[in-house]
Amino acid sequence: MPYIRFQKYSALMIVSIFSVLSACSSTEEEKYVERPVEELYNTGLAELKERRFSKAANAFDEVERQHPYSQWATQAQLMSAYAHYQNQKYEKALAALDTFIQLHPAHPDISYAYYLQGLCYYEQLSPVERDQKMTELAMNSFQEILKRFPDSSYAKDVKLKLSLLQDMIAAKEMQVGRYYQTRKRYIAAMNRFSKVVKDFQTTAHVPEALHRLVEVYLALNLKEEALSTASILSHNFPTNNWYTETYLLMKGEDFREKNSEGSLSWFNKIWNDQS
């Protein structure tokens, strides 16, 4: 009797398995049924309009899969990336964009591909306190646009975003530099502050970077370098608060040494005049 019951149970299991397989097969056939390229592409556009971004991306992917040699396939690749971007699926969007940029470097919409690539990174920016990898990647994409397509319709927006990105990178460099400085790792701090002065001259962090460099040079007893840096700060940012901080700092130092011509340096005269 147990054997008979087992046979019945096995028979039921077999029937169930075949039913599931049949259903799966039917589903697969419905899912991958070949459709005209225009129909697939228009389906993707319709899904985009209704903000069903995942379905839109799938429709555009089907264009490329079912009609890879169609003139629609290349554009569908870019539209799929856009749908993923709108759906905040940035990794999928970036993967599609990387493929598009590699395969179609001369495409009429290649500037938009770089722009969308930059936006994918831009939307993933982290606070200054955290790693700035996405900031750097966004900068690279946007800088490529200005380099290759300076007159594109995206150039104005790219410049605005680049200004913010550069400020974020400079802020991060300052944060790391201050960290090293408080731990008396002066060479490491100097490198960070110098990078801000050299590479991010248009940001608001330059005056502080110059002041911090003066502090570091004084800590290393490099008075000539401190004077030179303070001169730059005085000349370029005479009304900035960091200039005032530098002036107060330098008042406590003895810079009465004479230069090679036997007279006090120009910056020494400034200190003497303001003392």
Q: How confident is the model at residue 126 (pLDDT cuts 50, 70, 90)?
A: confident
The predicted-structure confidence for 88-113, as pLDDT tens digits, reads as follows 999 999 999 999 999 999 999 999 99
Query: Which pLDDT score, from 0 to 100, does residue 206 have?
Result: 97
Q: Which of 3-7, 20-24, 56-60, 121-125 has the lowest mean pLDDT?
A: 3-7
Residue 175 to residue 74: CA distance in whole angstroms: 44
* Residue labelled with tokens 């299991």: 13
Question: What is the DSSP secondary structure assignment for residue 264, as one 8-state letter?
Answer: B
Q: What are phi and psi of 149, to 5 degrees?
A: -135, 65
Residue type, 67: H
The end-to-end CA distance of the chain, in Å, is 111
At residue 20, the pLDDT reads 46
What pLDDT was estimated at residue 32? Answer: 59
Torsion of CA 57, 62, 63, 66, to 10 degrees: 170
